[in-house]
Chain A
Amino acid sequence: MTSDMIAERPLPEITELTEPFWTAAKARRLEVQRCDDCGTYRFPPEYGCAACSSTAYTWTEVSGRAELYTWTAVHPPLLPYFAERAPWPLAVVQLEEGPRLTTNLTGVDLDEYEIGMALQADFEDLDDEITLVVFRRG
């Protein structure tokens, strides 16, 4: 079942909507959208606000302070890049501004994962174009 799968780590396709996020990450800033009308922070990126229906928003830098909301460790069968590194931990973190992000933690062993643990955004350069937002202990 591995024969047809991509060998490398999948990368984001950057679109007109999401480009500011990736540009900010490259510059080692975490930015999410904030509604111009009701002030709600949101992630993932959208054109309109689910809270007030406004389509006006501004990409806004956030503190990067977060806590671990949930996590798993995934086992094969997996895409080859992750299978070679399994069990592969996945994390969802909640920013202090509210939104949640899927991410990976750095510098935390699997047996140290604890829901609620304090985290801080960090940045991992994958190539010249893509920098991932990851989290370390806060």
Chain B
Amino acid sequence: MTGFARDKTAIVGIGTTEYVKNIGRSELETSLEAIHQALDDAALTPAEVDALYKIETPGEDGNSELNVARNLGANNLRAWGGFGYGGGGACAPVVYAAMAVATGMASVAVAFRARNRGSGARPWSKTGARVRDTGAFEAPYGLVSPVQQLALVTRRYMHEYGATSEQFARVSVSQRSNASRNPRAFFRDPITVEDVLSSRMIADPLHLLDCSLETDGACAVVVTSADRARDLKQTPAYIAGASQGMGPRHYMMNGLLYKDDPFDMPSLYAARDVYAAAGMGPEDVDVALFYDVFSPMVLWQLEAYGFCQPGEAGAFVEEGKIDWPDGEIPVNTHGGSLSEAYVHGFNHVLEGVRQIRGTSTCQVEDASVALVAAAAVVPSSALLLRRQA
């Protein structure tokens, strides 16, 4: 896997709405707001946008590429697409934006994500009287939601590797500490391991504070060619590597339990290919933005992306090695989905860009390479961003 257009494209603009419980505007309006802000940040105009890629989720209110293009005044779209698979798609719109620009199919590509998740109903609450596909073999037994699916995987991980609830809690504590410095973060009050362990049980062994926020908000980034990026307003975040990864016999989050080895996760494949694409390894990464819908998922990505051996991430976290500023590999310096906002991981892409620019509220000193990884347990995607090409 060496075919990726290494460093041929860059993220040159980022934009975001506020992250709140009820934003009071449609996902189309928040998408437009984030995109306008990202274009302003890049000093580019809506009329120059000729590609749009998004994370898409069933039930969105009207922020299709079609509707966004018309309302944005992007009247010459040459490439577009939407990516599913929930948090596994977090990096995918940027991967495809880079591909469209690198091949010359488009020149200014916007990738975005909007979701009114704080004010909307949980998807599982819409479970019907009859359930199909794999759900037919799960919902009658009471298994309907991601946190329940993850709890089953987490219990098995604890059994195989001896990981503990305290170690998972350390992830939430570390990220909350980072969020306390971030004015965009929804939750900013510091917490302790004891706070996490005494928060109410959602699906044993996962407590409330092991789970991500539910917020409303939108994020966007602008991707253009490396040549053009050098002449723009912001320090470019060059896209050194990009990947998607699935692996064998996968389903959605429930599917881990049906695989021969549930820890043969999609992130292993995304990791292999993003490092190969960039010609890098974990030793080159200065800061990691990991998809963290539930705290154990950060441990699995630390292992998949090579920061520690399988089964060793619990101890790694417990020793403070993911903590900003002194840890070996600071993780989720914005607070992540556990404390900043839940935007299906797209806010992690923006934080990666901030780290490359040197503008994070938890800036890693001299950060030159940022890893952004989408959900470990569903068809996944990843990016390696760097300061100088």
Chain A residues closer than 8 Å to B152, beta-carbon distance: 70-72, 90, 92
Instruction: Give complex CA distance A20, B226 in Å.
Output: 57
Instruction: Give complex CA distance A100, B141 in Å.
Output: 14
- B68 lies within 8 A of chain A by Cβ: no
B258 in complex: contacting residue of A6, A82, A99, A104, CB < 8 Å: A99
The answer to whether A10 and B139 touch (CB under 8 A), given A15-B132, A69-B257, A102-B254, is: yes
CB neighbors of B among A12-30 (8 A): 12-15, 18
Q: Are A44 and B134 in contact (CB under 8 A)?
A: yes
Chain A residues closer than 8 Å to B129, beta-carbon distance: 6, 8, 10-11
Q: B117-151 toward A: CB 8 Å interface, digit per residue (1/0)?
A: 00001101111111110101111111110001001
CB neighbors of A among B169-223 (8 A): 200-205
A75 in complex: contacting residue of B128, B136, B200, CB < 8 Å: B200
The answer to whether A72 and B151 touch (CB under 8 A), given A11-B129, A12-B140, is: yes
Q: Are A90 and B142 in contact (CB under 8 A)?
A: yes
Chain B residues closer than 8 Å to A77, beta-carbon distance: 122, 125
Distance in angstroms from A44 CB to nearest chain B CB is 5
Instruction: Give complex CA distance A44, B259 in Å.
Output: 10
A44 in complex: contacting residue of B124, B127, B204, B258, CB < 8 Å: B258
Max chain B CB contacts within 10 Å: which of A71, A75, A104? A75
- B70 lies within 8 A of chain A by Cβ: no
Instruction: Give complex CA distance A44, B140 in Å.
Output: 14
Distance in angstroms from B148 CB to nearest chain A CB is 5
Chain B residues closer than 8 Å to A75, beta-carbon distance: 200-204
Distance in angstroms from A111 CB to nearest chain B CB is 12
Q: Are A6 and B128 in contact (CB under 8 A)?
A: yes
Surface stretch bound by A, among B153-161, B280-288, B319-327? B153-161
- B62 lies within 8 A of chain A by Cβ: no
Chain B residues closer than 8 Å to A71, beta-carbon distance: 152, 155
Q: A47-60 toward B: CB 8 Å interface, digit per residue (1/0)?
A: 00010000000000
A1 in complex: contacting residue of B121, B151, B248, B249, CB < 8 Å: B121
B159 in complex: contacting residue of A12, A14, A70, CB < 8 Å: A70
Closest to B125 in A: A5
The answer to whether A104 and B159 touch (CB under 8 A), given A1-B125, A73-B203, is: no
- A88 lies within 8 A of chain B by Cβ: yes
Q: Are A92 and B257 in contact (CB under 8 A)?
A: yes
Q: Are B131 and A4 in contact (CB under 8 A)?
A: no
Max chain A CB contacts within 10 Å: which of B130, B132, B137? B137
User: Given A14-B136, A15-B132, A70-B153, list of 6 further CB < 8 A pairs?
Assistant: A4-B121, A6-B129, A12-B130, A13-B130, A90-B152, A102-B254
